[in-house]
Structure formats: C-alpha cells, structure tokens
Structure 1
Amino acid sequence: MKKLIILILIALVSSCTSTQLTDSWKNPDIETYAPSKVLVVGLTSNIEAKQKFETKLKEEFLMRGTDAYTSFEVFPKSFKTEKLTTNELDSLEQQLSQDGFDTIIFSKVVGSEDKIAYTKNFDVYDETFIKFKEDYLRYQDSFYNPEYYEEYTVYHAETSVFCICPTKDSGLLWKGSINIVDPQSIDKTVNDYINLIIETLEVEQLINPIALSTKKETS
C-alpha cells in the first residue's frame, strides 16, 4: 500500500513532464537515509547530456547541505574513454570510501522503443449502424496518411542509489525505472529527470528536503 501511494504521488509530479516513473524499489531494511558525500555518475555516450545531468544533480545535493561531486571531477581521465574491469571498479570503490564518499547515484539508459500515437480520435462515431465500407474508409487513413499518427521514441532509464558506507552494509538503497518520452531538448529532459529523482528520494526519505537542510545549517 505504501509503495502504491508513493507511485501515485510521483505520478502526479511527473504527469506534465517528459519523464515518467514506472517503478520504484526501496530497500526494506532502510527507513531513512541521509547521505553525507555523494558521487553522481551518468553512463551515456552523449558527453553533453552526461555533464549537464551530473552537474545539475550535484547542485541539488549541494543545496541540501550534502557534499557532492560528479564523475568528471573524481574519475581518472582514462575512465571516460575506456571500459572498466571488475578489479578497477573494486579499487575505485575502495578509494571512494577512503576519500569519505558514502553514496553513489548511478543513472543509465537501459533500452529504447519506437512508439506510434494516433492523432485522430474515432470514439466519437456511432458504432451501432456502421457498415464495413464506412469503417474501412475511416480507419485506413491511420495507416496511409502520416498526418494521422506521430512516431516517437521512449527511452527506458534507471537510477540507483548505492551505499558504500564503511560502517554499514554496502548495497542498493533504492532503484527507480524511468521512461523518457520523446525527448526534444537536453536541458528540459535533464531538468525533468532530476526533478523526478529528487521528488522521489524526498518522498522515500532518502535525502533531506531543502527546507530541512537549510534549517539545520542556520540552527
């Protein structure tokens, strides 16, 4: 029931954006969580989108009083152009822990699919007295006339929050599946995506709201 309520709340937030939360999982052993030093990692071949995403999400954590860094600031330059081995990732995680990081937020695109939306609504017609010829004629345009449909792409993305805390069990804290529908602008898509992530993590009590963080700093 709690998960259903959370999904409904997030759906209301994302209803007017290009991003849609399709699934949200939170570690049942974690009630609340307050990261102290976060590494933001976006995995994509689009360097412009990666940099804007990581920078924007980093700023959201800084506004909440949480120390945060992008992968551009932390990873060696070779990591940006070469695939990593298991040993390299183990060494990286150990180094991050030694440097005081306790949280990694990892976002990536896991797939995509092409969609077709029909632009004309035929429900207004009275079906009671329809004949074959009339039915065929009115629907055939939806297949042969490009004005009757729109083609667009939906990208399936995932964002995961990992704890690498030295004093706690490391592992997955939260994972969200997000659809990015027909993205037209990198800036708008990044803003919509990050707003959705932040709203969800606040609802799940995995980060502090800005007001609470500000109150702590001024008290």
Structure 2
Amino acid sequence: MKKILLFVVLLALASCKTTKLVDEYKNPENVVFTAYKVLLVGMTPNEESRVAFENRLKEEFDKRKIESMRSIDLFDVNFTASAKTEEELKAVERQLLDKDFDAVLFAKVLGSESKQTLRKKISDWGNYTGRFRDDYFQHQDIYNNDWSYDQFKVYHTETTLYCICEGKEQSMVWRGSIDLTDPKNIDKSIDEYVNLVVAAMEAQDVLFHK
C-alpha cells in the first residue's frame, strides 16, 4: 500500500509541471542544424516576461558557447509598438544577415482556453482504506459543492527556429507546440519552458547537440 501511495504522490508531483510539449516538427532537410549567431525573440505584450524569457534563453546559449542576442537589445520600443509590413520585415532579415546572424528562435503565445480540474488533497490519500464505501463517504460532498472545482488557464504557445542563411529565406528548421498550464509563478514557468525547448531541440540535433 505504501508503494502504491508513493507512486501516486510522485505521479502528482510530476504533473505539477506547468509546461508540456504537445507537438513538434523538424524539417527533414536539416538532419543536423548548427548556427553560430542566433537572435532570440519572445513575442509578448508583457515586457517583464519578454525580458525574463530572453534572458533565461540566452543563459542556455552562453553555456554552450553559441553566440546569441536578445531582441530587446536589437529592436527599439518603436519597432515593436507598430505592425510591420512584409517589405519592412524583409529589410529586417537583410539587416540580420548583414550582422552575421544565421538563425532566429521565435516564441509566441497563440491563444488560451479555460479549463476545470477537481481538487484533491494528497494528505487525504493516506487515509484511504481501499473500500468503496470509505471513498464514497469521503467525497460525496462533490455532488453539492461547486468549490470542489478550480478554473485554470491553458496557454497554447509555439517556438520556432528559422534559418536566415543566404539562399534559405525564412526556412523553418524546427517547431515545437508547448502548452503552459496556469502559470502563476512566471519565473518557474519560464525556466521549465526554456528547459523543455532546449531538451527537445537537443534530442533532434537542432542547435544544441549532445
């Protein structure tokens, strides 16, 4: 019984992570992709989150001795304050090439949705005796109490790596779709997010190599 309870607790703790890779795609033309100078772009209206995300991501590039630059160091406030035309973005790509960038790692939030989950205290599981009537008795108030349910948000995000090499305009190398569940602690969520992106690309021999 103790082993079963320990397994349940460990399973619950593992599910506490706020990030999950739900889908990914790697361009088959890029079996192994290496870049030498990467622009890091976090697209969000929240300036604090953008800075924190790009800072954390740059730490991972610095560890691996891959040159990178945060978009906050390259784009001024006026650039992100207004929508850009295709021609303006082409000019930006040309500027990046002129500055010897060969890749852009681009993260953005695509949307969000509200969901419900049933609250359950881990401390109560230790009192479960394995009989139906005990379990039913302990939880029968679920029928009449709305407070047994929590509302939470799931944010659907996408992180994409683009090659901006000569002759390969806007060539997508890798894309990962990641869900963030109820990210109350922004720093923790960003840390998990970046770790997940790095691990996923490393597994695909993209940028980060084992």
Question: What's the TM-score, normalizing by structure 1?
Answer: 0.77
Shift of 1:117: 0.6
Instruction: Indicate whether 1:95 and 2:95 are aligned.
Output: yes
Do the aligned partners of residues 32 and 101 (structure 1) sit closer, same or farther apart at CA in structure 2, a change above 3 Å counting? same
User: In structure 1, what is the equivalent of residue 143 of structure 2?
Assistant: 140
Letter in 1 for 2:143: Q
Shift of 1:170: 4.3
Shift of 1:174: 0.7
Shift of 1:62: 1.5
Unaligned stretches of 5+ residues in structure 2: 1-13, 126-130
Q: What secondary structure sits across from 1:79 in the alignment?
A: helix
Letter in 2 for 1:166: E
Shift of 1:82: 1.6
Question: Following superposition of structure 1 onto structure 2, how do residues 44-123 of structure 1 map, counting pairs within 5 Å?
Answer: 44-119=44-119
Shift of 1:77: 3.1
- Number of residue pairs aligned between Structure 1 and Structure 2: 185
User: In structure 1, what is the equivalent of residue 182 of structure 2?
Assistant: 182
Do the aligned partners of residues 86 and 168 (structure 1) sit closer, same or farther apart at CA in structure 2, a change above 3 Å counting? closer
Query: Within 2, Cα distance between the matches of 1:180 and 1:53?
Result: 14
RMSD, aligned CA? 2.3
Query: Within 2, Cα distance between the matches of 1:201 and 1:187?
Result: 21
Question: What's the TM-score, normalizing by structure 2?
Answer: 0.80
Query: Within 2, Cα distance between the matches of 1:157 and 1:62?
Result: 24
Q: What secondary structure sits across from 2:198 in the alignment?
A: helix
User: In structure 1, what is the equivalent of residue 9 of structure 2?
Assistant: none
Q: What secondary structure sits across from 1:41 in the alignment?
A: strand
Query: Within 1, Cα distance between the matches of 2:167 and 2:99?
Result: 14
User: In structure 2, what is the equivalent of residue 20 of structure 1?
Assistant: 20
Shift of 1:167: 5.4
Query: Within 1, Cα distance between the matches of 2:205 and 2:22?
Result: 19
Do the aligned partners of residues 186 and 139 (structure 1) sit closer, same or farther apart at CA in structure 2, a change above 3 Å counting? closer
Query: Within 1, Cα distance between the matches of 2:15 and 2:119?
Result: 19
Unaligned stretches of 5+ residues in structure 1: 1-13, 213-219
The worse-fitting range, judged by mean Cα deviation, of 192-201 and 158-167 is 158-167
Query: Where in structure 1 do 4 or more consecutive aligned residues deviate above 6 Å?
Result: none
Q: What secondary structure sits across from 1:205 in the alignment?
A: coil
Shift of 1:80: 2.6
Query: Within 2, Cα distance between the matches of 1:150 and 1:125?
Result: 25
Q: Deviations over 1:33-78 (max 9, x none)?
A: 1110000001111100000101111121121111100111111331
User: In structure 1, what is the equivalent of residue 128 of structure 2?
Assistant: none
Q: Provide the identity percentage.
A: 36
